Amino acid sequence: MPQSFDVLLVEDDPGDVLMTQEAFADQRIGGNLHVVNDGVEAMAFLRHEAPFSDAPDADLVLLDLNLPRRNGIEVLAEIKADERLRRIPVVMLTTSDAAEDIERSYQLHANAYVTKAVDFDRFVDDVRSIDDFFVTVVRLPRR
């Protein structure tokens, strides 16, 4: 596991942001959670553009589909088309369970697709599982 593991959450729903923050506040989840609220901010964060010029390199992106300004599919396509960013695992974390959203996400090389649980405890368990898998189970390329 890297000494510092930085997770970028791209989410515009304040309730889902709060639940994810609470999951990361739990001692069983490793990593630093950074939050942006739309697709334009996500790309600025990942590319270290203003106002995120001091942002850390993301080790994992949790990406919602339905975002303002640039949706999750557009952000995913942009990440995977960028030679410097495509190594970052992207987990689609969304309320949609539509087959076409799942198919399109995997066509664009999403690393996983997780439908958000409505129940708080299940949502936290899902976030813990994602974190555990990417922080402790898999080996990621060095930054």
CA angle 109, 18, 56 (to 5 degrees): 55
Q: Which two tokens stand for residue 38?
A: 């739309």
Higher pLDDT, 68 or 24: 68
Q: What does the pLDDT read at residue 128?
A: 84
Percentage of the chain modeled with pLDDT above 70: 93
- Integer Cα distance of 85 and 80 in angstroms: 7
Task: Find the mean pLDDT for residues 101-113.
Answer: 96
Q: Which two tokens stand for residue 100?
A: 């076409």
Do you find a cis peptide bond into 68, omega within 30 degrees of 0?
A: no
Looking at 26-30, 40-44, 93-97, which range is the least confident one? Answer: 26-30
Between the CA of residue 125 and those of 32, 72, 118, what are the distances in Å? 17, 23, 12
Q: What does the pLDDT read at residue 31?
A: 75
Looking at 13-22, 54-63, 64-73, 128-137, which range is the least confident one? Answer: 128-137
Task: Kindly list the structural domains of the chain, giving each domain's residue range(s) and its CATH number in brackets, ordered by start.
Answer: 6-136 (3.40.50.2300)
pTM score over 0.85: yes
- Integer Cα distance of 38 and 71 in angstroms: 8
